Chains A and B, each alone.
Chain A
Amino acid sequence: METDDLIRLESITKIYGTGDAMVAALRDFSLTVASGESLAVMGPSGSGKSTLMNILGCLDTPSSGRYWFAGQDVSRLNETELAHVRNRRIGFVFQQFQLLSKLSAWRNVELPLLYRSVGDRRRLALQALEQVGLSDRINHRPGQLSGGQQQRVAIARALVTDPGLILADEPTGNLDTASSRDVLAVLRELNEQGRTIIIITHDPEVAPVAKRTVHVRDGQLVDQVAA
């Protein structure tokens, strides 16, 4: 295994259900992502993109195959160990933002820091909000922010732990064109700072943000196209 590979999927299969209802969402799926890369994963609805994101994000474990993340085999870790990996090494950006509506922007950004021992959470949260250009909105609640601003708060939350990998599942799926541009610009900038970024999308307009694009169909990798 090469040392600068952040991610290495080896023949991953993910099967949902049993018997007649059995669905293989990923089949014999292998993929390598180098540290600092930016990757777009494209494919039609139901092709297995979200399943891939869940496995990459350590939110779910594969039925078979191995997943090496930063040199560690994470495919057989238990729930608590996976929680630690997610907390320390991965930042998530979801299509529905997933902000807690009762908390202010900075309190939302602070959330991942509550599950590890760091002091100075407020300063780190404000720094992350500054990076996404929302220093003037720290006390706003999600309901008082536009969709694009909400997604930028979510990106700040993904950044605040300084993770090696940022995973974005359809980050612009709920945004208008202008907001999408803002959000994609932030993601590109993060990649330029050296962070590994994987964007999952079915939108051909989004893919060019990444330097590499892979296509998924029926749970399998179709081809690899260098941008």
Chain B
Amino acid sequence: MSLLHTIETGLRSLLGHRLRSVLTTLGILFGVAAVIATVGIGQASSDSVTARITSLGTNLLTISAGSTVTSGVFGGAGSATTLSMADVAGLQDRQSAPDIVAVAPVSQGRLSLVSASSNWSTTVSGSTEGWLVTNTRTINSGTFINANDVATRAQVIVLGSTTAANLGAGVGDIVMVRQIPFQVIGVLAASGGQGFGNPDDLGVVPITTAQDELFGGSGSVQRILLSATSASTIGSAYLEANQILLQTHHIQDPSQADFTITTQTQVLSTAQAVTQTLTILLASVAAISLLVGGIGVMNIMLVSVTERTSEIGLRKALGATPVDLFRQFVIEAAMLTAVGGLLGVGTGLAVGYVVPRAANIAVTITPLPVLVAVGVAVAVGLVFGVYPALRAARLAPIEALRAQ
């Protein structure tokens, strides 16, 4: 029997049971759409995490207080206040740290800023002039905090572009933080982020002012950011910083270090591993729904073979070979899944179009997962169609004819 006729016969049989065919197709449709949408969301979140981390520059090293693992007990980075301005001074020594170009201590917290016209809650960091270089940021208007501001505990603040816009404040205006007036001396250039964790929504004040006026006068430093002279000197910058801190902290055994230094590459690979795991997890759940859809196809094909037993017998009597019947049923199953797969791609793409506009979730759809999902859908149809088709092919013509 020609392929064209096989397809025509298959279509007629599928259209003969319209509701059933539609429901079976839906199972595949949702499976494929779910795979495409979840992989798209995972891809997008991975992209944005990567973009955000690389925008900080690959030369960045971060020192946090506390070691990640202390004598087998997980301490948690930053859980001990072991970093101080003395460490910062040590790291700024060009003699012992020739590969470190900038140093910026950071103490931050979420605070409410009040301007003449509105108020806005944001992350305020206490830091030094090194902040700008280590964060690879630039000033749009005004100036950044300088050494003098830090030395004199100046009540000045630099705002991110989003924060400035939300407060309706510009250079020269006064912003109240904890009832203390801060003069806006600069506004940062926008870095183009948006949504949760927006890098343009922040305020920076001199670290000395922050320690004394905003964060309870503890004199602590949560993190120290370092910039290596270039991407190729990160390794030596790391060793230099480690050596200096071991000395200033009077630690002989490096394994007992009470601080942790992370490079941007480490942060990036950890973040990518996390988002990748998440994507795989989501895609697996979606793939299971595709599998369930495939089982639905098999179920319907088995019902179809049973219902059409006498038709199969008749076709055999009229000269259909086992191969003819096998092909007939496999093609029917493949048609169900191919249609489901294509509509699933449409639905998946529609989800990828609608979701970023309706909710603040980015979706990145690449051709590979789409092709894989359709391929898997058709493969599912073939695999789950094989058993029912074999049943049809093996039916003895006399038994099949007897069935009424």
Which residues of A approach B to under 8 Å, CB–CB?
Answer: 54, 57, 59-60, 79-80, 83-84, 86-88, 92, 94, 96, 98, 100, 102, 111-112, 114-117, 157, 161
Interface contact B321-A59, CB-CB below 8 Å: no
Contacts of A112 in B (CB 8 A): 318-319
How far apart are A10's CB and chain B's nearest CB, in angstroms? 22
B47 sits at the interface (CB 8 A): no
The residue from A57, A96, A117 contacting B317, defined by CB atoms under 8 A apart:
A57
Q: Which of B373-404 contact A (CB under 8 A)?
A: 396-398, 401, 404
Interface contact A96-B404, CB-CB below 8 Å: yes
Which residues of B approach A to under 8 Å, CB–CB?
Answer: 1-2, 5, 12, 16, 310-311, 314-324, 396-398, 401, 404
* Interchain Cβ contacts under 8 Å between A and B, 22 examples: A54-B398, A59-B317, A59-B401, A60-B398, A79-B322, A80-B323, A84-B321, A86-B316, A86-B317, A87-B319, A88-B319, A98-B310, A98-B314, A98-B317, A100-B314, A114-B2, A114-B5, A115-B315, A115-B319, A116-B319, A157-B318, A161-B319
Which of A59, A96, A114 is packed against the most chain B CB atoms within 10 Å? A114
Interface contact B317-A115, CB-CB below 8 Å: no
How far apart are A87's CB and chain B's nearest CB, in angstroms? 2
Closest 3 CB pairs of A and B: A87-B319, A115-B319, A112-B318
Assembly CA distance A157 to B319 (angstroms) = 12
Contacts of A92 in B (CB 8 A): 317-318
Assembly CA distance A115 to B398 (angstroms) = 19
Given the interface pairs A59-B317, A86-B318, A100-B311, the reply to whether A94 lies near B323 with Cβ below 8 Å is: no
Interface contact A115-B324, CB-CB below 8 Å: yes
Assembly CA distance A111 to B317 (angstroms) = 11
Residue of B whose beta carbon sits closest to that of A80: B321
Contacts of A102 in B (CB 8 A): 12, 16
Interface contact B314-A114, CB-CB below 8 Å: no
Assembly CA distance A112 to B321 (angstroms) = 12
Assembly CA distance A116 to B5 (angstroms) = 12
Interface contact A83-B311, CB-CB below 8 Å: no
Which of B2, B315, B316, B317 is packed against the most chain A CB atoms within 10 Å? B317
Contacts of B396 in A (CB 8 A): 60
Which of B2, B16, B310, B318 is packed against the most chain A CB atoms within 10 Å? B318
How far apart are A207's CB and chain B's nearest CB, in angstroms? 24
Contacts of A100 in B (CB 8 A): 311, 314
Residue of A whose beta carbon sits closest to that of B394: A79
Contacts of B322 in A (CB 8 A): 79-80, 83
Contacts of A60 in B (CB 8 A): 396-398
Q: Apart from A54-B398, A98-B401, A111-B318, what are 16 other A-B pairs with CB-CB below 8 Å?
A: A59-B398, A60-B397, A60-B398, A79-B321, A79-B322, A86-B319, A87-B319, A92-B318, A96-B404, A98-B314, A98-B317, A102-B12, A111-B314, A114-B1, A115-B319, A115-B321
Assembly CA distance A111 to B8 (angstroms) = 13
How far apart are B258's CB and chain A's nearest CB, in angstroms? 80
Assembly CA distance A157 to B311 (angstroms) = 15
How far apart are B130's CB and chain A's nearest CB, in angstroms? 81
Residue of B whose beta carbon sits closest to that of A99: B314
Interface contact A83-B320, CB-CB below 8 Å: yes
Contacts of B320 in A (CB 8 A): 83, 115
Residue of A whose beta carbon sits closest to that of B16: A102
Contacts of B324 in A (CB 8 A): 83, 115
Residue of A whose beta carbon sits closest to that of B311: A100
How far apart are B283's CB and chain A's nearest CB, in angstroms? 41
Residue of A whose beta carbon sits closest to that of B308: A100
Contacts of A87 in B (CB 8 A): 318-319
Residue of A whose beta carbon sits closest to that of B314: A98
How far apart are B5's CB and chain A's nearest CB, in angstroms? 5
Assembly CA distance A92 to B320 (angstroms) = 14
Which of A60, A83, A88, A117 is packed against the most chain B CB atoms within 10 Å? A83
